[in-house]
Amino acid sequence: MNKTLPFLFLFSLLLTGCAREPQAVTQQFFAMDTSMSITAYGADAAGAITAAQQEVFRLDALWSRTRPESDVSRLNDRAGDGAAVAVAPDTALLLMDANAAALESALAFDPVLAPVMDAWGFGSADTETKAVHRVPAPQELRALLPLTRDLPTASLSGDGASASASLPLPGQALDLGAIAKGAAAGHVMESLAENGVDSALISLGGNISAVGMRPGGTPFRVAVKDPRQAGSYLCVFSLAPGKTCSTSGGYERFFEENGRTYHHIIDPATGYPAESGLLSATVVSENGAWADAWSTALFVQGPEQALEFWRSGEGAAGLLDLVLVAGDGHVYVTEGLEEDFDFQGEEAGYRYEIVRR
């Protein structure tokens, strides 16, 4: 099952009828195993969206696990053979971001979880291979865990024009599903801006990015889903220009077996779906790859560690804002989102707290 869009476009589409405001152009498409859409405003919107879409297709061709010629497939095929594989500079940069998130999160985010994901039938490859969701035997998971945690190497030439990468251990495989779409969102923002767009809302499978403001000069607004109630929203807030908002939640992809639910975000320490006390983790960042990687990492770490990390203000933590939805109904919202924040979760039994540094 593909990830559904975890946010609503709020208000942005209502503007199209207003004569003095620029026409909105919206394109929906499918890439990176999920549905995507771009809405842009202004005279150059249609052409710019087409160019941005081509950029997503280019990145998908580099980062796909199912296409044999992709950088990721070629790295996975040569895992452990000691050779540095030539990859696109964008792939090396993505791996560097992934490694940074992995190290900073004490491996709550792990870019080489593919063998474990495949054992659960959650591999990014599952739509192609029709893999069946299943609960792996404990000994099967124990045998796969040594293939995780050893991070890829990645290097760029001095002029940034060429790059190479490798996986240290035989049998290892990359799964960049927790970071690639957010990284792609960053590329789309740049591409739209280069093509003359100064107002757009981008939605790449759970990663929402704002280029500029809405026509008329107010910020775009995004909503966080109620993880327990499809179609309901817990809160709405303004997404500042240039920011990406990513949500990770167990409700996005899961299966049931013998009355238990198993979701697709795995705790790399155990090989089992993370049970950290969070129903969802939303991260807002000016770096799309970080928003995506950290939403996954903080979902794995849980509310206490996530808030401790945010309060430290160190490294990426200083640049992120969070909405953490805990299983006990508590919603933690960091202070950067306080302005223009509307909470709608009371009736469903949620309550929120603005968290300060």
Closer CB to Mg ion, residue 252 or residue 292? 292
Q: Which stretches of the chain bind ligand AMP, using CB under 6 A?
A: 109-110, 113, 117, 122, 124, 175, 177-178, 206, 248, 252, 264-266, 268, 292, 295-296, 300
Here the contacts of 269-274 (C-beta below 8 Å, separation 24 or greater) are 269/107, 270/141, 271/116, 271/119, 271/136, 271/141, 271/142, 271/144, 271/145, 272/141, 274/250, 274/299, 274/300, 274/302
Name the nearest CA neighbour of 60 among 146, 181, 142, 158. Answer: 181
The length of the chain in residues reads 357
Residue 264 contact among ligand AMP, Mg ion, none, beta carbon within 5 to 8 Å by kind: ligand AMP
Taking residues 284 to 323 in sequence order and writing x for each that binds Mg ion by CB under 5 A, - otherwise, the string is: --------x--xx---------------------------
Minimum separation from the CB atom of position 38 to ligand AMP (A): 19
Residue 265's binding partner out of ligand AMP, Mg ion, none, with CB under 5 to 8 Å set by partner kind: ligand AMP
Query: Which of ligand AMP, Mg ion, none has residue 109 at its interface (CB below 5 to 8 Å by kind)?
Result: ligand AMP
Q: In this complex, which beta carbon is closest to ligand AMP, that of residue 214 or of residue 253?
A: 253
Q: How far is the CB of 348 from Mg ion (least distance, A)?
A: 25
73 binds Mg ion (CB under 5 A): no
Closest contact distance (angstroms) between CB of 185 and Mg ion is 11
Interaction of residue 178 with Mg ion, rule CB under 5 A: yes
Q: For ligand AMP, which is the closer residue by CB, 49 or 283?
A: 283
Q: Strands of the chain (E only): list them.
A: 24-31, 34-41, 85-87, 153-156, 163-166, 199-204, 207-212, 220-225, 233-239, 244-249, 254-257, 260-263, 278-285, 321-326, 330-334, 342-343, 351-355
Considering the complex, what minimum distance in angstroms separates the CB of residue 31 from Mg ion?
16
State the residue for tokens 């779409």: 181
Please report, for residues 48, 218, 328, 341, the alpha-carbon distance to residue 321 in angstroms, rounded to integers and kept in the order given.
Answer: 29, 20, 21, 13
| 3-class DSSP state of 61 | helix
CB of 216 to Mg ion, least distance (A): 32
CB of 248 to Mg ion, least distance (A): 5
